Chain A
Amino acid sequence: MSKRMLNDNYPMWLKDLRVSMPLNLSYIPIGTACGILLHAAGFNHLLTILVSILVFSGGAQFLIASMLLISSPFYSVILMLFFLELRYALLGSSLSKYLQGQSDRFTFFFAVSLNDENYAINYLKFSTDKKWTPKDALNVEHYSVLFWTISNLIGSFIGSALKIDLSLVNFALTALFLYMIMMQLKSMMKLLICVISIGLSIVFMVLMKSTLGLIISTVISSLIGFALENYLRNRHPKSNALKTFKNPAGTPKEN
């Protein structure tokens, strides 16, 4: 009880900083790796700051860097970014009910700084803490942008000072996506779509000789998941494939 009273006495900025701190600290190594790669891709310090604030997505920035390193065409980078960022439609719509009554201006700034990680924090806080306000959530987003941008800038400086084996740093991107896959694997159906996607993406990328194959395989695999889930729910509603796996770290209760 004393702990709760203590928390209530903290000013808002400090309370929100404490909530966002684990995320902020985890951004330091990843942001630094990202900054190193962006520098290698030809971004100057100012552009690195700009992309960190405006695009603000680890996956997207790593992707920009690695596609520029192999001199991909402009349209193909933008198309890949679009599909990569499309997942935010899902995150955005699931948070929208908590932003009822907020102004368009607030919603705009909230959308600009939304990403996977601060979404996870804010969704958890909104669904478990009745005192969590949209303003708190926006503060958490801004702290994460701040730490992310500074880490990228540090990486940009390190990149210009040291010579680093890029193919190895590039694995940070693969590791980031592998982590995101693991966070997504919540049911047998997701695992199945993951396996189908491995096969389809190899086939389509080799057939089409471009990243377009990746997009097509993503659309087809996700539609297979959508259709199969609907079929199972209608015909075999008790199927084990639809059940959610147990989370070794514990599943937060949602309302």
Chain B
Amino acid sequence: MKWNATTHLLLVLCGFLVALLPRFIPLSFFRNRRIPTWFNEWMKYVPIALFTSLVVKDIVITKNYTFSVSGKLPDLIASAIVLGIAYWTRSMALSVIGGLIAIFALSFFV
């Protein structure tokens, strides 16, 4: 399938559906019912597992899906800086801006 404006529009509409269903169904279903405990307990660990995998993919997995850390020192240092900023400030904006400044500066010097 070729990417063009039409397929991009289709992607946005399908994206709308997969974004809406997990937001709407539990919200609507559990308005007047009890949430099953097992569901909550399992869901508790989904975000951390997913976000970690995504960061791993961004930093140490290459486009051809091999593991490599060569040339990734700026990313690793910048990631540590972002985690530090996030821990101390709990601010999303400061974490992202700090991360961008760090990666720009580090890719210049390292």
Contact = CB atoms under 8 A, between A and B. Distances in A.
A180 B51 contact: yes
A125 to B, nearest CB: 17
Provide the main secondary structure of the chain B interface. Answer: helix
B13 to A, nearest CB: 7
Interface string B1-17: 10111011111111110
Contacts of B110: none
B50 A218 contact: yes
A156 interface: no
Contact of B40 (A93, A95, A202, A224): A93
A77 B12 CA distance: 11
Contacts, number: 294
Contacts of A51: 12, 15
B42 A197 contact: no
Contacts of A63: 54
A151 to B, nearest CB: 11
Interface in B84-99: 86-93, 95-99
B26 A93 contact: yes
Listed from nearest, the 3 A-B pairs whose CB atoms lie closest are A175-B99, A225-B45, A26-B93
Interface of B: 1, 3-5, 7-16, 18-20, 22-32, 35, 38-61, 63-67, 75, 78-79, 82-83, 86-93, 95-100, 103-104, 107
Interface of A: 25-30, 33, 42-44, 47, 50-51, 54-57, 59-60, 63-64, 68, 70-71, 73-74, 77-78, 81-97, 99-102, 104, 107-108, 110-112, 114, 117, 168-185, 190, 193-194, 197-198, 200-202, 205-206, 208-211, 213-214, 217-218, 221-226, 229-230, 247-249
